[in-house]
Chain A
Amino acid sequence: MPKPLPLAPASPVPKGVDCGLSKAHGVLSGQCDMTGMEFLPVLFMVAGIVLVAVATLFVSSLLRPSNPYPAKNMPYECGMDPAGEAAGGRFRVQFFILAILFVIFDVETMFLFPWAVVLKEIGLVGYVEMFVFMLLLLVGFAYAWLKGALEWEV
């Protein structure tokens, strides 16, 4: 099983600790440059991605024919004429509420995974703390429910 990255002791961060402390004492060690160098591939990666994206857009803008007309700019609905609310570029506000509710529970799940991985180490206290977190989320959910956010009013 791969170890969770932020907790792994081999990550460059603990080296940074040495770096910061040694600097605080006025001693410059070679390790500091190492920390900077270790991130160099990441910088190359970012630069590469930006370059490829910009180059692709630029080259294709030179090559492709450009001929927009109203029918082409319409939302695509399987070849039919667009119908319904979305055709006017408007969405029902309920979609937004559902999306927000989704994000909230998505984030909850995001917290649940690392919690489950380290559950043995953090013991009973950590176990209970997660339920406090979920209780607070449930209060928000109950509020949304009471407010009628889950009703699809036509």
Chain B
Amino acid sequence: MTAEALLQSILASLPEIVVVAGACVLLILGQFVRKGQEHFLVWASVAIVLIAALGTLMLLGEVRPAYTGMFIADGFAAFFKVLFYLATGLTFLLSPKYVEIEEIGSSEYYVLLLFALSGMMIMASATDLLSIYVGLELMALCTYVLTGFLRQQRRSNEAALKYVILGAASTGIFLYGVSLVYGLTGTTQLDGMAAAMTGDPLDPGLLLAVVFIVAGLVFKVGAVPFHMWVPDVYEGAPTTITAFMSVGPKAAGFAVILRVFLNPLVAASDAWIIVAVIAVVTMALGSFVALVQDNFKRLLAYSSIAHAGFAMFGVVAGGADGIASVMLYLLIYAFMNLGIFGTVIMMRNGDFSGEVIEGYAGFAKSHRGLALLMLLYLFSLAGIPPTAGFFAKFYVLVALVERGFVILAVIAVLLSAVAAYFYIRIVMVIYMREPEGAFDPALTPSVRATLALTAAGTIGIGLFPAWFLGLAQHSVFGD
């Protein structure tokens, strides 16, 4: 690689470099921050995310391949990176009060989130199996540690251990698939893999390799049959980290899957059959098991499995509409899910854990505004118009029907009707029951700002869905 090519590569990956360098500086600086000065860490982290976002926006408008074909900075990657900035930035804003209550506030918390962000960014930009792997591991290792951050709680430790072991197994499977692809085709480039995969007749070894790679990615997305870690990890992890994991890493997994399906060769193959089966089973399991949950975080974990299944339907539809619909789905999901998690995080105060659904009984009696916000997020998650959640589902269904998968669309609608029940059940608890005690939500200005932003996103996208869909389509396929 010549010096000139290296400079081009550095320019293309400037946002990633900013985040990694910022995290390194913060890691060292954090050791010198005195007690009571922790808010400096929050604002420094938010500033790093903002600078990286500025870099990504400045690089827009041109497709920049970098690092000899392992990395690309294009509109598709930029869309996902903005989504990651949003998820990470809002997690930072939700954190200060919560980490103070749980006594987990240390510089590592913020630094690890920044490293996880850089891992997700690399995944969104990766065009080679090896750079995907590097991004995947960077993200995963940080989330393992963050899951176990509540060191005094058994639950958190157990969640972290389960996550590490299952994550290591899935990474092993993924890497084995990568090694098979390299052995059979001599390349780790996604394009080369797609070209070999669509050959006729298909090499059974290559099919096995692709199944392994898909399994590794499906684990990160939390789809059946690799979903069993999701409820335990989501319940045990600090709620802020659960909020982050349910949005960021999930979107990163989808970014890689979509990058593979952007390839016209893959889109024309029969790979959609596997994805369709995964989508149906995932959504069915997530929706039905969520019906019997008492714990709010566990319920949201199953709800996130169900949503992953629904987004998979968009992958099945494929094509410009399908891929754009999944991207829009993930953006909307980021807003409404961070919103509902924001309210759960806010309720954690004093002795109130905010995790038991029954504990919210009669919340609307004393806090009208906050109850209305929860209603908004829950209706959006259930997919009731005119919230954004409705249009997220709507465009996926449109893409499905246009491609002729009417049966799949019908299944998706029926299952989301099941899912609507458990969201509405929470609304019933909030509005129809008598309060058993007083509520004391920890409403700090930064939590207020997060709730306002997520509510604005949930309503705003619901009001102008076509504009946001156009944005997603534009970022994938240009004009």
Please list the residues of chain A having a beta carbon within 8 angstroms of any beta carbon in chain B. 13-14, 16-17, 19-21, 23-26, 122, 124-126, 136, 139, 142-143, 146-147
Query: Which B residues, 179 to 220, have Cβ-Cβ distances below 8 Å to chain A?
Result: 182-187, 192, 195-196, 198-200, 203
B2 at the interface (CB under 8 A from A): yes
B37 at the interface (CB under 8 A from A): no
Task: Tell which of A14, A122, A126, A139 touches B186, judged by Cβ atoms closer than 8 Å.
Answer: A14
CB<8 Å pairs between A and B, sample of 17: A13-B186, A16-B183, A16-B186, A20-B196, A21-B196, A24-B196, A26-B200, A124-B3, A125-B2, A125-B6, A126-B1, A136-B24, A139-B27, A142-B28, A143-B27, A143-B31, A146-B31
4 additional A-B residue pairs with CB within 8 Å, beyond A24-B196, A125-B2, A142-B28: A16-B184, A20-B192, A26-B199, A125-B3
With CB as the reference atom, state the residue of chain B lying closest to A18. Answer: B186
**Measured between C-beta atoms, what is the minimum distance from A76 to chain B in Å?**
32
- Cα distance A21–B199 in the bound complex, in angstroms: 9
Tell me whether A139 and B24 are in contact in the complex, defined as CB-CB below 8 angstroms, given that A16-B185, A125-B6 are known contacts. yes
Contacts of B6 in A (CB 8 A): 125
Contacts of A147 in B (CB 8 A): 31
- Cα distance A16–B199 in the bound complex, in angstroms: 14
**Measured between C-beta atoms, what is the minimum distance from B360 to chain A in Å?**
40
**Measured between C-beta atoms, what is the minimum distance from A150 to chain B in Å?**
14
Q: Are A25 and B199 in contact (CB under 8 A)?
A: yes
Q: Are A13 and B183 in contact (CB under 8 A)?
A: yes
Q: Are B31 and A20 in contact (CB under 8 A)?
A: no
Q: Are B27 and A24 in contact (CB under 8 A)?
A: no
- Cα distance A146–B33 in the bound complex, in angstroms: 12
| Number of A-B residue pairs with CB-CB distance less than 8 Å in the complex they form | 50
**Measured between C-beta atoms, what is the minimum distance from A22 to chain B in Å?**
9
Interface size in chain B (residues, C-beta < 8 A): 22
Q: Are A24 and B186 in contact (CB under 8 A)?
A: no
Q: Are A146 and B182 in contact (CB under 8 A)?
A: no
Contacts of A125 in B (CB 8 A): 1-3, 6
**Measured between C-beta atoms, what is the minimum distance from B446 to chain A in Å?**
27
Q: Are A20 and B184 in contact (CB under 8 A)?
A: yes
Contacts of B20 in A (CB 8 A): 136
With CB as the reference atom, state the residue of chain B lying closest to A24. Answer: B199
Contacts of B27 in A (CB 8 A): 139, 143
- Cα distance A11–B24 in the bound complex, in angstroms: 40
Contacts of A24 in B (CB 8 A): 195-196, 198-199
Residue from A13, A14, A25, A26 whose CB has the most chain B CB atoms within 10 Å: A13
With CB as the reference atom, state the residue of chain B lying closest to A28. Answer: B201
Q: Are B31 and A17 in contact (CB under 8 A)?
A: no
With CB as the reference atom, state the residue of chain A lying closest to B7. Answer: A125
- Cα distance A1–B187 in the bound complex, in angstroms: 27
Contacts of B3 in A (CB 8 A): 124-125
Contacts of B2 in A (CB 8 A): 125
**Measured between C-beta atoms, what is the minimum distance from B392 to chain A in Å?**
37
Contacts of B195 in A (CB 8 A): 21, 24
- Cα distance A63–B180 in the bound complex, in angstroms: 42
- Cα distance A13–B285 in the bound complex, in angstroms: 42
Q: Are B186 and A17 in contact (CB under 8 A)?
A: yes
**Measured between C-beta atoms, what is the minimum distance from A97 to chain B in Å?**
15
- Cα distance A19–B187 in the bound complex, in angstroms: 12
Q: Are A146 and B28 in contact (CB under 8 A)?
A: yes
Residue from A14, A17, A20, A146 whose CB has the most chain B CB atoms within 10 Å: A20
Query: Which B residues, 108 to 127, have Cβ-Cβ distances below 8 Å to chain A?
Result: none
Q: Are A23 and B31 in contact (CB under 8 A)?
A: no
Contacts of A17 in B (CB 8 A): 185-187
With CB as the reference atom, state the residue of chain A lying closest to B6. Answer: A125
**Measured between C-beta atoms, what is the minimum distance from B128 to chain A in Å?**
16
Contacts of B198 in A (CB 8 A): 24
Q: Are A23 and B186 in contact (CB under 8 A)?
A: no
In the A-B complex, the 6 residue pairs with the closest CB atoms: A17-B186, A20-B185, A24-B199, A146-B31, A20-B196, A16-B186
Query: Which B residues, 1 to 20, have Cβ-Cβ distances below 8 Å to chain A?
Result: 1-3, 6, 20
**Measured between C-beta atoms, what is the minimum distance from A56 to chain B in Å?**
28
- Cα distance A147–B30 in the bound complex, in angstroms: 11
With CB as the reference atom, state the residue of chain B lying closest to A39. Answer: B183
**Measured between C-beta atoms, what is the minimum distance from A34 to chain B in Å?**
13
Tell me whether A19 and B184 are in contact in the complex, defined as CB-CB below 8 angstroms, given that A125-B2, A125-B6 are known contacts. yes
- Cα distance A125–B186 in the bound complex, in angstroms: 26
Contacts of B192 in A (CB 8 A): 20
Contacts of A143 in B (CB 8 A): 27-28, 31
**Measured between C-beta atoms, what is the minimum distance from B264 to chain A in Å?**
14
- Cα distance A125–B2 in the bound complex, in angstroms: 7
Tell me whether A13 and B200 are in contact in the complex, defined as CB-CB below 8 angstroms, given that A24-B195, A125-B1, A125-B2 are known contacts. no
Contacts of A23 in B (CB 8 A): 196, 199, 203
Contacts of A16 in B (CB 8 A): 183-186
Query: Which B residues, 43 to 59, have Cβ-Cβ distances below 8 Å to chain A?
Result: none
Contacts of A126 in B (CB 8 A): 1
